[in-house]
């Protein structure tokens, strides 16, 4: 029942020796979503041991090179290793033409189908849904059209109390109805669903927000999301530069996290002008204590039981992330 995020690139604009441009993989119950695909993402996938054959969905937030230049190489490599399964790509409409133009000299037709899903939502809208999960795209504010993504598990079925199965001699078809919230009848009496079941564990959620000017526009949509990855390209001392380039500061990301009452904030998309990400972490924590500055290779594991902590795996170390207690 995994819900797990791997950071493949946590830097902005220019790749550096220890920080690649934006890309990350979210695994929700073995559905692998690649979110953005900066140059060199396929190397990062190999380095951090995520098989790119698992990836069936790629979401591209916007058409700045540090978020999508790796897509062409990745698709080419997928073809070279014999992929035949369809690949779903979500991105700004112009990306379709770019893909066709760049890939055509090598492949008259890629050996696997590419299903392109244009993003043009002017307000939050579901772009992907299956029986366990929805993905909602929402517009952010940047120099070009850009979307954030909210991943949300669907509410789980109610948990049946096993003692009641024998007590009321409940049949297998009835169990399914009860898990969906139904009452049953015995000896002309209604046995309420509350008596037969326990509340299910709450659904897990994740939101990706980059690149964007600081904005409260989607505060309600993202209220009480478990974890948000928010860009923090600059420190607050460079607020005018952040405004000019339509980016956010580490302090503003902290304010957004506090106001949305999330459990934990992960910041990234750091400008290479700063040498140490701990500066971002310190600044965000002045607004919201439960903040971590991402590093390439970080793995964040959601607990199955929401009362427990998130785990962060960083290199050979592993520890629990502090959780906003107001959201437990
Ligand atoms: Zn950008």
Tens digit of pLDDT for each residue in 193-251?
999 999 888 899 999 998 999 999 999 999 999 999 999 999 999 999 999 999 999 99
DSSP codes of every residue in 171-216: -HHHHHHHHTT--EEETTEEE-HHHHEEPPPPPPEEEEE-S-----
pLDDT at residue 58, rounded to an integer: 98
> Sign of torsion, CA 164 169 172 174?
negative
Domains of the chain: 3-156+201-327 (3.60.15.10), 159-198 (no CATH)
d(CA 254, CA 151): 21
Residues in the chain: 328
Q: SS3 for 245?
A: coil
pLDDT at residue 31, rounded to an integer: 96
Ligand 1 centroid to residue 241 C-alpha, Å: 14
Question: pLDDT tens digit string along 84-94?
Answer: 999 999 999 99
d(CA 177, CA 53): 37
Ligand 1 centroid to residue 296 C-alpha, Å: 19
Q: Is the peptide bond before 233 cis (omega within 30 degrees of 0)?
A: no
Inter-residue contact 6 to 313 (CB < 8 Å): no
Q: Is 36 a catalytic residue?
A: no
pLDDT at residue 327, rounded to an integer: 64
Residue 183 is encoded by which pair of tokens?
A: 């009452």
Catalytic residue among 66, 226, 296, 298: 66
pLDDT tens track, the chain, 328 positions? 899 999 999 999 888 888 999 999 999 999 999 999 999 999 999 999 999 889 999 999 999 999 999 999 999 999 999 999 999 999 999 999 999 999 888 887 888 999 999 999 999 999 999 999 999 999 999 999 999 999 999 988 898 988 888 888 888 888 889 998 899 988 889 999 999 999 888 899 999 998 999 999 999 999 999 999 999 999 999 999 999 999 999 999 999 999 999 999 999 999 998 988 899 999 999 999 999 999 999 999 998 876 678 999 999 999 999 888 876 5
Ligand 1 centroid to residue 184 C-alpha, Å: 55
Cα angle value 322/325/328 (rounded, 5°): 105
pLDDT at residue 206, rounded to an integer: 98
Ligand 1 centroid to residue 211 C-alpha, Å: 5
pLDDT at residue 21, rounded to an integer: 96
Inter-residue contact 10 to 19 (CB < 8 Å): yes
Inter-residue contact 96 to 60 (CB < 8 Å): no
* 154 secondary structure, DSSP code: P
Ligand 1 centroid to residue 299 C-alpha, Å: 24
* Crossing angle of the two packed helices 71-80 and 94-103, in degrees rounded to 10: 50
Beta bridge partners of 214: none
pLDDT at residue 265, rounded to an integer: 97
Ligand 1 centroid to residue 210 C-alpha, Å: 7
**Is the pTM higher than 0.75?**
yes
Ligand 1 centroid to residue 85 C-alpha, Å: 30
Ligand 1 centroid to residue 244 C-alpha, Å: 12
Q: Which long-range contacts (CB under 8 A, 24 or more apart) does 136-141 make?
A: 136/221, 137/59, 137/90, 138/218, 138/221, 140/61, 140/209, 140/210, 140/211, 140/212, 140/213, 140/215, 141/212, 141/213, 141/215, 141/217, 141/246
pLDDT at residue 324, rounded to an integer: 87
Ligand 1 centroid to residue 63 C-alpha, Å: 7
pLDDT at residue 328, rounded to an integer: 52
Helix (H) or strand (E) holding 127: strand 125-129
């Amino acid at each position: 029942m995994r819900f797990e995020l791997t950071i493949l690139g946590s830097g902005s604009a220019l790749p550096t020796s220890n920080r690649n441009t934006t890309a990350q993989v979210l695994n929700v119950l073995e559905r692998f979503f690649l979110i953005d695909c900066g140059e060199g993402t396929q190397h990062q996938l190999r380095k951090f041991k995520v098989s790119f054959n698992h990836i069936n969905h790629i979401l591209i937030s916007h058409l700045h090179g540090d978020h999508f230049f790796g897509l062409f190489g990745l698709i080419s490599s997928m073809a070279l290793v014999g992929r035949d399964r369809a690949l779903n790509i979500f991105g700004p409409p112009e990306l379709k033409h770019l893909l066709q133009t760049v890939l055509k000299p090598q492949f008259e037709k890629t050996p696997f189908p590419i299903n392109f899903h244009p993003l043009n939502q002017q307000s939050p809208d579901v772009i992907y849904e299956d029986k366990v999960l929805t993905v909602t795209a929402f517009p952010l504010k940047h120099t070009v059209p850009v979307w954030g993504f909210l991943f949300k598990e669907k509410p789980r079925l109610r948990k049946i109390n096993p003692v009641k199965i024998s007590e009321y001699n409940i049949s297998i078809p009835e169990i399914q109805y009860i898990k969906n919230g139904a009452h049953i009848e015995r000896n002309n009496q209604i046995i309420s669903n509350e008596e037969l079941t326990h509340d299910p564990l709450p659904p897990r959620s994740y939101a990706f927000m980059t690149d964007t000017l600081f904005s409260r526009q989607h505060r309600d949509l993202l209220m009480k999301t478990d974890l948000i990855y928010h860009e923090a390209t600059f420190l607050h001392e460079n607020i005018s530069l952040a405004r000019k380039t339509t980016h956010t500061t580490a302090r503003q990301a902290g304010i957004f996290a506090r106001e949305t009452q999330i459990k934990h904030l992960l910041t990234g998309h750091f400008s290479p002008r700063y040498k140490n990400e701990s500066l971002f972490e310190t600044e965000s924590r002045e607004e919201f204590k439960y903040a971590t500055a991402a590093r390439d290779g970080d793995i964040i594991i959601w607990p199955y039981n929401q009362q427990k902590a998130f785990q962060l795996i960083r290199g050979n170390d592993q520890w629990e992330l502090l959780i906003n207690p107001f959201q437990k």
